[in-house]
Structures are given as structure tokens and as C-alpha cells.
Structure 1
Amino acid sequence: MAATPRGISRSLLPSAKTRAAIAKRMAAVSGEMTTAAVSEMESRHAWFSELDAKHRSWITLVAQAGIDGFVQWFANPEPERPSTADVFGSAPRELARRISLYQTVELVRTTIEVAENQIDELMPRGDRAVLQAAMMQYSREVAFTAAEIYARAAELRGAWDARLEALVADAVIRGETDETVLSRASALGWRSSANVVVVVGPEPAEEPTVAIESIRHECAKAGLDMLGAVQGDRLVVVLGGGEIAAPDVALRMVERFADTFGAGPIVIGPPVDHLAEATRSTRAALSGYRAAAAWPDAPRPVRADDLLPERALSGDGHARRALARDIYAPLAAAGSGLLETLIVFLDHGASVEATARSLFVHANTVRYRLKRISEVTGHSPTDARDAYVLRLALTLGRLLPTDGRQTS
């Protein structure tokens, strides 16, 4: 015995001959139903009118296929669960990329509502009840089919995007950010033309795809572009746009998704001006990530520039030159006894009084010079961590050339 379609009461289900006659009458007005549906789409949905003629014609084909498919299913002598794959098969796959799932649902809803209204207006009174019940079942199947199409498209796109994103991240790490890589990043939605920061941390404990999407969600809320990929045992995240280059902005942003990384240090590279220059931020972040074990109490996340001593001792030439150039050289150029005061202060165990006696100056003079040292270098000699940075900068400043000269 043939199965009764859900949504139609057995008492309302007519014979196959009667259904065929009803379907024939409905087929005669299907063109009017399609025209009415498209007209309603234009008046109800502003975005529909903004589509070009080609995409509007494809949607018309889908609406017509949906109505014709219902007529054929209803007329079937052995009614079964409706198959609506052919409804969307009448339009190219490109249509699924041109209109969103939400817009598709709106089109299906509009078409069904118009068809139901047209049944009341164009069909004989005796046909209406069974057609309305059948339409309810058929429209549900159409909705499920639309959801399946978009789900498959999302899975395929997601897998492709993940591979493409991994390629872009790998190119950034290896310093091969050419026009091809920039084009690929653009295809992934990268819009930023300035301000880029690279973050390196341990690979997440959860599924990498889920972790990356979680980070992407946080970045989207902040209006930032984001690329990410797992490289070996580490997760590399590239952030761009907004005020990411402003002081502390990148730090606060990474704090929002720090728990997504696995256990271990998270290092933020210095900001650069463009994705094409991201290799500089990547190099510093990777160097800091390797050297972070030497500072167990480092904050999480931590800036790569805050790990300059550890990076220098682990063999990073860029870090050594940065300490000599950005700390030692400004002190030497500032004069006023700042460099000498720092050396004596550190050699005398950070004692203001001992430093004053050694320099034959008043203790307040030493305090003033220590304040000036902090202003010039950004590091306070009275802080234990900053004193360590300054001590290493003094050593490297004596060994390495700064501003093209060999320092004494």
C-alpha cells in the first residue's frame, strides 16, 4: 500500500484519478503562480532587485521548478516522500555563492506563501484543502533540500579555505609573501592594507579548525582580519587592521583568545605596516617563542620585544642589535652622565647612596638621572627585570656597532 504523504489526512486524500485532475488544473495556472511569486520577491526583498538579470532569471527558474515539481509529485499515482533535488538543480552552483542561505530561505518562504494564496484565488474550492495540506509537506522538503545544498557548499568551501589559509600562513612564516600570497589572502577575506601583527603559541588541545574559527570569531567582533594555521606543534595567528599597531591593543586582543592556545608561552611579534612585511613580525615572534622558556614568569601573552634578553642569549642577532641600538645608543647620546650613572648603579647593587658616593654627587641627582634613564630607554633601573635588560644592553652596546660606529 502506498504511503500517505505527511501533512495530508487520509480522509482528505483523493484517489489517484482525482489527484491527476487537480494537478492538471494547477499545471494550467503554474505560470501565473511563478509570475506572482517573482513579483512578490521584487516588492518584498530589496536585495532581490539589486541582483543582475542573470541571477534573477535563475531564481525564476528555481521558483518555476519548485511549483512544477509540486504538481508532478502531487499527480504521482503512488505518492511517496517528495524528492526536491531537481528544484535547485535547475540553477547553476554559482547561485549558492551569490545569495546567502538566509536569502534562500526568504525566497522559498515567499514562493510558498504566494503559491498558497494563488491556490485560494485560482483553484476550485474543492481542491484547496488537499492542495494546502500537500503544499505544507512539499515546502518542508524544499527547505531541507536548501539546507543540505548550503551545508555541502559550506563544507567544501571550509576545507578549501583551510588549505589555502595554511598555505598563506606558511608563506608568511617563510618570508615569501609575494603578490600571489597577497591575492590568496584577499580571497580568504583579508582586507587590511596596513598594520599587521603575528602571534605564535602552542597548538590548541582541541580540534585546530574549531580553535581557529573561535579566534576568528573574536577578531571579527573587534573588526580585525585574521589568518591562522597550525604549523607543527605551534599555532600561528596573523592579525591585521584597526588599531592593532597601537600600544597594548594587540596584547589586549590576544588576551581575549589566549585560552584557545595550548599550554605554554604566547608571543606577540612587533607590528609591521603591511602583510608583505609580516615576516619581520613572524621572525621576532618565533624567536621569542623559542626563548620564552628562559623567563618562566613571563606574562601570557608576552611581547617579543619584552623577551629581547632571552632572544639575544639564544643567538638572535636581531635581538642583540636591538638592545644595543635602542637602549645603549640612546643612553650614550643623551649625555648628562646617564650612561655612567647606570653602570655605577648596577655595579653597586642598585644602591642610590653607594652610587652617589662613587660619583661624588648628591643622592637626589642619582635619583633624577635614574628617572631620565627610564624616560630615555623605557626601562627603569630600579625594577629587577628592567635592570636585567639594561645590564645586557650595556654589555652588547660595548660589543656591537650602533649607528654605524663601534662603541667603546
Structure 2
Amino acid sequence: MTDSRSTSAKPRVPRQPQPSQETLERLKSHLGVLSTAALKHLDQSLPWYRGLEPEERAALGLVAQKGIASFVSWYEQPASPQWVLNDVFGAAPTELTRSISLQKALQLIRTIVEVVENQVPDLASEAEQVRLREAVLRYSREVAFAAADVYARAAETRGAWDSRLEALVVDAVLRGESTDTLRSRFAAVGWKSRAGIHVMVGGAPEQSTAPFVGELRRASLRYAHDCLVGIQGERLIVMLGGIRDNAAAGFERLAEYFADGPVVYGPRAESLRAATLSAQAAFAGLAAAPAWTQAPRPTAADDLWPERVIHGDDSAKRALQANVYGPIVKAGNGLIETLTTYLGLGHSLEGTARELFVHANTVRYRLKRVAEITGWDPLLPREAYVLHTALAVGRLAEGGTAE
């Protein structure tokens, strides 16, 4: 019985000897002296403290005074419950964590500890000085942990707010809000880029947690100056600003963060207002992407013009007419007739030459000119399909105008 009770009994923590009444009285009577010495030492030893605004210095001074006063209470009753967070930091405004880093807060704590340690010979008898120094060190450890907790809570709150604000900015771009509103919202999240903006869209992975978003943002900043991440249901949206030279490699790398399925990026936007058009093109491409089963991942929204036209995207029709059909017609020199015949005869150079009564080299030259003018090569099957769609869209548009 005795063995079982001794085995199950909780180990007792040895009680610390109580401080002498004389030392406690000295500590209480020296509170003003210690606070004054601490503030003076802060001003002398910490350059960043001298550069603070008056209200910030006042808040930090109050923290220092509360910390010293709480030490006396804790030294008298070291087993008191959770006191540090409320007693020491309760009076400090939350905004203080934005202007004072955790590193500076720990420097402040270290400075105050030095002041108290230097005053130990005047506060305790020689027999009790060692115990008082140890108590100061234990107390400073508790305050340091409490400071870390304050900053961790502030970071969590700020991170949650920043994520909500970031989602609002992405939503504003998708809805095409006014330029002034966009500038205001972008400034709120620290966005600085005014050009080189791209929008990537695709499926959101199942585990779209805060760590995932943070990792995606860090990866994005390797290829762009600015990045915003938005998750809307099952869709993941990444907005990149100030794209560097290796944009293609960046898109390919970032596509790995999306869920399985198509990933589409919109055309380059040279203004915040144009970013809305890039986003709309990317979403239109994402909706039409299943029609092109051999599409690369990621795919440019402009590479999906034919599929977007079939899907009913009017902006793709206008783009094909303005960027492909119109330039070919304007160039003249038989380009439109040669391209039409070439596509209609199954991509036969010789058949096109016979039909037009020209040499095959002339057909090759004209098709090369089409590629130079539009950026789409008729000799490549996929790009020939884009050109074929552009011819159909352009002629339909001309027919509608004629009517």
C-alpha cells in the first residue's frame, strides 16, 4: 500500500524561501527610482527609442514602469497566476506592435533587467542578493515569453486581416471597379506595380491553408515584384505585378500550386484598369480550356481564342478581328486570298499555287508574311486553326456590317 501511494503521488515542487520583509520594503520604496533609472537608460542606450514619437515613447515607458512594479508583486508571491500578459502589456496599445519590432521589445526588456540588476546591492542584503538576481532573471524570462505571445497574437490578427483585404482587392479587379477605387485598394495592400500585370486562374487545391498561401506568395515573388492571392470557392487566383524577364518559367513553376486541371493566365496588362481585362480573359480561357485537350499547362488565354469564340466569348471575337483578320486584310498583296485557299485545300502548298496560278515559293512567301504580321504560323496545325477561326470571325463581322 505504501509503495503504491508513493508511486502514484505527484512530485512536490520545492517551495522557494520567502523574501525578507526588509527587501520587499526596499523594493517598494525604490519603485520610482528604478522606473526613472530605466527610462533614462533606455534613452541613453537605445538610439531607436529616442527616435520614437512621443506617444510611442510614453506607451513604452508605461510598459517599463508596469514591468518593474509587477516584478515586486511577483517576487513577493512568485506562484501567482497568469499575470504577465495583463499586468505588463495590458496598457500598451495594439498598434505598438506595428512600430516596435519584437527584437526591439526584447532589447527593451534586456535594458530594464540590466538596470534592476545594477540596483541589487541597494535593494537587498548581501545574503539575499544572489536570490534577488536569480529572481530578476526568471522574471525577465517570463516577460520575454509574454512579449513573444503579444507579438504572435498581433501577427495572427494582422495576417487574418491582410488576407481578407487581399481577397477584397482581387474581387475588385474581377468586378472591374473604377481606377481610383483600384488604386486605393492596391495601396492598402502595399502593391506598387503599375505595369506588367498578369492574372492566373485555375483550380484551388483541397488544402488551401494559410501556410499554402504564404508559400505560393513567396514563390510568386521570385518572378514578380508584387503578388496577390485569392481563393474563391474552388478557384485559385494569382495576380502578379512587375513581371520579370523569365515570365514563362514563372507561370510554369506557379502552375504546380494549382489543383489538377487547366491553368490559364491572362494577357499582360499595362495598367491597373487593364488588369480587369486580363482577369476576364483568363476566366474565359479557363471556361473554354476543356475544348483543347492538348493544351499546355499553363495556357495563355490568347492561345484559346478559337475555343473562347465557340464558348461565346465576344472579347475573343473582337481580339481575333483586331489582331489577326484586320492586319491581314490591311496588308493586302493577296495574303487573305492565299491564306483562305491554303486552309481550304487542306494545307497544300502545291494545290494553293495551282489554284492561284502562282509559284509555290510565292505561296510560301505570303504565308510567311501572314506569320510575321499576326504572330500565327499557317504551317503549324494549331496556329492554322487559330487563323482559320479568325477568317470566319472577320467575315461574319464584315457581313453583319454590310447588312
| CA contact 2:26–2:123 (8 Å) conserved in 1 | no
Q: Deviations over 1:234-262 (max 9, x none)?
A: 1122222x236x7x62x433333222211
Residue 69 (structure 1) shift: 1.1
Q: TM-score, normalised by structure 1?
A: 0.85
Number of the residue aligned with 2:289: 292
Aligned-partner residue type, residue 283 of structure 1:
Q
Query: Compared with structure 1, are the counterparts of its residues 173 and 110 closer, same or farther at alpha carbon in structure 2 (3 Å cutoff)?
Result: same
| CA contact 1:23–1:75 (8 Å) conserved in 2 | yes
Q: Structure 2: which 5+ runs fail to align?
A: 1-10
Query: Compared with structure 1, are the counterparts of its residues 328 and 180 closer, same or farther at alpha carbon in structure 2 (3 Å cutoff)?
Result: closer
Number of the residue aligned with 1:366: 363
2:238 aligned counterpart, secondary structure: strand
Number of the residue aligned with 2:252: 255
Aligned-partner residue type, residue 357 of structure 1:
R
- 1:84 correspondence with 2:84: yes
Residue 45 (structure 1) shift: 4.2
1:400 aligned counterpart, secondary structure: helix
**C-alpha distance in 2 between matches for 1:121 and 1:195:** 66
Aligned-partner residue type, residue 115 of structure 1:
V
Number of the residue aligned with 1:94: 95
- 1:338 correspondence with 2:339: no
Q: Deviations over 1:60-80 (max 9, x none)?
A: 11112112211221123x644
**C-alpha distance in 2 between matches for 1:193 and 1:374:** 31
**C-alpha distance in 1 between matches for 2:209 and 2:396:** 44
Residue 297 (structure 1) shift: 1.7
2:278 aligned counterpart, secondary structure: helix
**C-alpha distance in 1 between matches for 2:382 and 2:229:** 32
Q: TM-score, normalised by structure 2?
A: 0.86
| CA contact 1:215–1:257 (8 Å) conserved in 2 | yes
Number of the residue aligned with 2:379: 382
Number of the residue aligned with 1:128: 129
Correspondent of 2:346 among 346, 349, 353: 349
Number of the residue aligned with 2:167: 166
Q: Deviations over 1:37-92 (max 9, x none)?
A: 4445445544333211110121111112112211221123x644672121111222
Aligned-partner residue type, residue 171 of structure 1:
A
Number of the residue aligned with 2:230: 229
Aligned-partner residue type, residue 95 of structure 1:
L
2:239 aligned counterpart, secondary structure: strand
**C-alpha distance in 2 between matches for 1:115 and 1:256:** 55
Number of the residue aligned with 2:243: 243
**C-alpha distance in 2 between matches for 1:335 and 1:136:** 87
RMSD in angstroms over aligned alpha carbons?
A: 2.9
**C-alpha distance in 2 between matches for 1:35 and 1:401:** 86
Q: Deviations over 1:267-302 (max 9, x none)?
A: 111222333443211211110010000112212111
Number of the residue aligned with 2:156: 155
Aligned-partner residue type, residue 211 of structure 1:
F
Q: Structure 1: which 5+ runs fail to align?
A: none
2:325 aligned counterpart, secondary structure: helix
Residue 386 (structure 1) shift: 0.6
Query: Compared with structure 1, are the counterparts of its residues 123 and 334 closer, same or farther at alpha carbon in structure 2 (3 Å cutoff)?
Result: farther
Aligned-partner residue type, residue 83 of structure 2:
S
Aligned-partner residue type, residue 185 of structure 1:
F
Name the count of aligned residue pairs.
Answer: 392
Aligned-partner residue type, residue 128 of structure 1:
Q
Number of the residue aligned with 2:117: 116
Residue 139 (structure 1) shift: 1.4
| CA contact 2:223–2:243 (8 Å) conserved in 1 | no
Aligned-partner residue type, residue 297 of structure 1:
Q
Query: Compared with structure 1, are the counterparts of its residues 252 and 114 closer, same or farther at alpha carbon in structure 2 (3 Å cutoff)?
Result: farther
Number of the residue aligned with 1:280: 277
Identity of aligned residues (%): 45
